[in-house]
């Protein structure tokens, strides 16, 4: 890799900028200069990035010391950016340039973080491999014949491949944590409501949450400090959203209690991932933690429940893409014909499938049997999980049942991809904070360990993760370079 800055974490770059060892422009330029051989980005505007870097430098020169000042960041392309395209990797938003910034983007500008570009994703964040992007194939920097995971695959590939020091993704059923696992990164989904969803193109509104990718827990904690804020523009924003004090430097797992649900270490977990997780558990136990097996029976219904609720919400949210107000439009003789032509031609297969499933689940006569039932099971899952918090600090599991899989490997079995989400979905169901961090390699590819904490327990979860990271000693985990 030509970019030696790619060897530094975001917090290390921030410190180097504070020491004036390099300028914000040099940092941004170094990342912009790395050729994007992984299909990580859908849009880059180097001139604008450099102008933002210069503005950050002026703030550094004025003596400002905010933590990530001058550190460039990559943004998943379902987060609205004023004056920069936002496509959601869909043809229906081809050419769309939002007239406003998402709240998180305003926060990044406020923190003085130049935007490196918009990253690749599964269309409207629907997928597990980033293969549903309408624009570009996204590859895993660990092995370009494999998927980076999804749906935030571009944000993961960008950081893992040394194209960005840090990035933002979105997570509806695992879309930050699963690609983080498959690319050897730390990926964090904060408690629902701690990060504003204003300007995040909605998929499943009761599940969606923006969160960071980084090489270390300290990096994702630093970016979380920037984006966890109360926002009057999002009516699900928590009043006490800002993160409180954290002590990552002295974090330890000694005396910490982890619950390992049997349902998440089932036969569906491949042997190499299982071995890596078991090894990590032994290491944590040796460092003074306890790990107990527990039963959470409702978790075995997580995938079926999610694939009713998420499409139901998506079918309603995606009703706004009609070719009238924004995005691409297919002309036809009448209004309805034009609407049908636009949606018929511009939405991809997976998006149409979900709209149909969701519309069906919400329709009269089926609502009770599907949507209502799914919401009841969701309540059951939350009750079972909440009963553990008195006794345990976190719920531990694999993040993904497998390591990065070959691109196209599941083209004949799309259900297999959906079934992979069973470890990450519970966090979205209950709005719990959760993260994936690297716990080692299996057959030369990264394995992710998943930790989930109680609602609003983000600070303690990040501290715990820092302790786990220290005990395991395998972050940052960088792909072998040619």
- Token output for 379: 């309540």
Among 72, 98, 117, 174, which residue interacts with ligand GLN (rule: CB under 6 A)?
174
Please report whether residue 125 would count as binding ligand GLN according to CB under 6 A: yes
Among 175, 225, 305, 400, which residue interacts with ligand GLN (rule: CB under 6 A)?
175
Cis peptide before 231 (omega within 30 of 0): no
CA 285 to mean position of chain CA atoms: 29
Q: What angle do CA 407, 413, 419 make, to 5 degrees?
A: 95
Q: Is 76 a known active-site residue?
A: yes
**Contact characters 239-268, ligand GLN, x per CB under 6 A:** ------------------------------
| Rg for the chain, CA atoms, rounded | 21
**Applying CB under 6 A, which part among 61-69, 125-133, 296-304, 453-461 lies near ligand GLN?**
125-133
Please report whether residue 126 would count as binding ligand GLN according to CB under 6 A: yes
**Applying CB under 6 A, which part among 45-53, 104-112, 120-128, 391-399 lies near ligand GLN?**
120-128
Q: Give the residue at shortest CB distance from ligand GLN.
A: 175
Please count the residues of this chain forming the interface with ligand GLN, following the rule CB under 6 A.
Answer: 13
**Applying CB under 6 A, which part among 58-66, 169-177, 231-239, 397-405 lies near ligand GLN?**
169-177
- Annotated catalytic residue: which of 151, 160, 167, 170? 151
Nearer to ligand GLN, 114 or 153 (CB): 153
The H or E element containing residue 458 is: helix 458-472
Please report whether residue 119 would count as binding ligand GLN according to CB under 6 A: no
- Annotated catalytic residue: which of 175, 196, 237, 276? 175
What's the start-to-end Cα distance of the chain, in Å? 7
The H or E element containing residue 452 is: strand 445-452
Please report whether residue 149 would count as binding ligand GLN according to CB under 6 A: no
Among 11, 86, 130, 151, which residue interacts with ligand GLN (rule: CB under 6 A)?
151
Closest CA to 356 of 324, 303, 308: 308
Nearer to ligand GLN, 27 or 264 (CB): 264
Q: How far apart are CA 15 and CA 64, in angstroms?
A: 12
Residue 250 exposure: Cα atoms within 13 Å on the Cβ side: 3
Closest CA to 152 of 115, 185, 177: 177
Please report whether residue 187 would count as binding ligand GLN according to CB under 6 A: no
What residues have CB less than 8 Å from 238, skipping those under 6 apart? 191, 193, 194, 230, 456
Phi, psi of 446 (to 5 degrees): -65, 145
Q: How far apart are CA 283 and CA 279, in angstroms?
A: 6
Q: How far is the CB of 154 from ligand GLN (least distance, A)?
A: 13
Q: Is 175 a known active-site residue?
A: yes
> Taking the CB of residue 320, how many other CB atoms lie within 10 A of it?
12
**Applying CB under 6 A, which part among 170-178, 287-295, 316-324, 367-375 lies near ligand GLN?**
170-178
Q: How far apart are CA 148 and CA 404, in angstroms?
A: 6
* Residues in region 294-333 near ligand GLN by CB under 6 A: 310
**Applying CB under 6 A, which part among 165-173, 335-343, 355-363, 364-372 lies near ligand GLN?**
165-173
Q: Is 152 a known active-site residue?
A: no
What residues have CB less than 8 Å from 237, skipping those under 6 apart? 193, 196, 197, 230, 231
Q: Which residues are catalytic?
A: 76, 151, 175
What is the contact surface with ligand GLN in residues (CB under 6 A)? Answer: 125-128, 151, 171-175, 203, 310, 421
């Amino acid at each position: 890799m030509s970019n030696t800055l790619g060897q530094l974490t975001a917090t290390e770059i921030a410190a180097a900028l504070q020491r004036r060892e390099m300028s914000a422009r040099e940092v941004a330029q170094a990342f912009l200069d790395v050729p994007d051989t992984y299909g990580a980005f859908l849009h880059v505007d180097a001139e604008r990035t450099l102008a933002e870097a210069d503005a950050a430098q002026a703030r550094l020169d004025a003596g400002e010391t905010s933590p990530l000042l001058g550190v460039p960041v990559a943004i998943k392309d379902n987060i609205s950016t004023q004056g920069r395209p936002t496509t959601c990797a869909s043809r229906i938003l081809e050419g769309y340039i939002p007239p406003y910034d998402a709240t998180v983007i305003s926060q990044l500008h406020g923190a003085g973080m130049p935007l490196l570009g918009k990253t690749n994703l599964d269309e409207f964040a629907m997928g597990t491999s980033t293969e549903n992007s309408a624009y570009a194939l996204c590859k895993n920097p660990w092995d370009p014949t494999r998927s980076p995971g999804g749906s935030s695959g571009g944000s993961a590939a960008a950081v893992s491949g040394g194209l960005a020091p840090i990035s933002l993704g979105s997570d509806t059923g695992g879309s930050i944590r699963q690609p983080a696992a498959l690319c050897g990164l730390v990926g964090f989904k904060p408690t629902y409501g701690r990060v504003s969803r204003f300007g995040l193109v909605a998929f499943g509104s009761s599940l969606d949450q923006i969160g960071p990718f980084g090489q270390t827990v300290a990096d994702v904690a630093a970016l979380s400090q920037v984006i966890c804020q109360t926002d009057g523009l999002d009516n699900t924003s928590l009043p006490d959203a800002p993160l409180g004090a954290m002590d990552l430097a002295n974090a330890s797992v000694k005396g910490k209690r982890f619950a390992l649900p049997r349902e998440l270490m089932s036969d569906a977990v491949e042997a190499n991932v299982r071995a890596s997780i078991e090894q990590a558990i032994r290491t944590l136990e040796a460092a003074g933690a306890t790990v107990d097996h527990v039963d959470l029976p409702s978790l075995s219904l997580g995938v079926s429940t999610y694939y009713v609720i998420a499409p139901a919400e998506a079918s309603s949210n995606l009703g706004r893409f009609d070719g009238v107000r924004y995005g691409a439009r297919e002309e036809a003789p009448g209004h309805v014909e034009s609407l049908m032509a636009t949606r018929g031609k511009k939405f991809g297969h997976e998006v149409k499938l979900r709209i149909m499933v969701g519309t069906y689940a919400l329709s009269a006569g089926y609502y009770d049997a599907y949507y209502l039932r799914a919401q009841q099971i969701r309540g059951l899952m939350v009750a079972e999980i909440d009963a553990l918090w008195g006794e345990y600090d976190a719920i531990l599991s694999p993040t993904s049942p497998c390591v990065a899989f070959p691109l196209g490997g599941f083209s004949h079995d799309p259900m297999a991809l959906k079934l992979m989400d069973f470890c990450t979905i519970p966090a979205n169901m209950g709005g719990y904070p959760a993260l994936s961090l690297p716990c080692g390699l299996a057959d030369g590819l990264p394995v992710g360990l998943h930790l989930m904490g109680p609602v609003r327990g983000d600070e303690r979860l990040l501290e715990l993760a820092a302790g786990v990271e220290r005990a395991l000693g395998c972050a940052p985990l960088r792909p072998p370079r040619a």
